[in-house]
Amino acid sequence: MTVKVGDKLAFRGFANHYSICTVERITASGRIICGKYTLNPDLTVRGRNDSFHTPYEAEPVTPEIIASVIRRKTLEQIVHTDWPSLTFDALKRIETIIKGDLKR
């Protein structure tokens, strides 16, 4: 895969959660600077410390990866919602959505 500045790459991290970063720079020697990672031309992460928190390699962003990132961020937003501050009407609408999805 040929990578250019501005391309998006995905990194699979802890619990198989993906993060997506933009290629910022490619050095003369071919190293790829993408977010907090420096990659070899083959997309393996340089300086990996064998921690399970450090991804082994980058991969091209796919629609499935984008969907998983959006899903995870949506779930995080739901978990961190200040439920007591919502109006009764808002809570009833949420309840209707949840009950409708559970019947499927």
Question: From the CB of residue 86, how many other CB atoms can be counted at a distance below 10 Å?
Answer: 13
> Is the CB of residue 29 less than 8 Å from the CB of residue 23?
no
pTM over the 0.85 mark: no
Of 74, 58, 75, whose CA–CA distance to 18 is shortest?
A: 58
pLDDT score, position 50: 60
pLDDT value at position 98? 87
CB atoms under 10 Å from CB of 10, counted, come to 21
Contacts 24+ apart (CB under 8 A), 13-17: 13/53, 13/54, 13/55, 14/52, 14/53, 17/68, 17/72
Chunked in runs of 10, what are the mean pLDDT values of the chain (104 residues)?
94 88 96 94 83 80 96 94 95 90 62
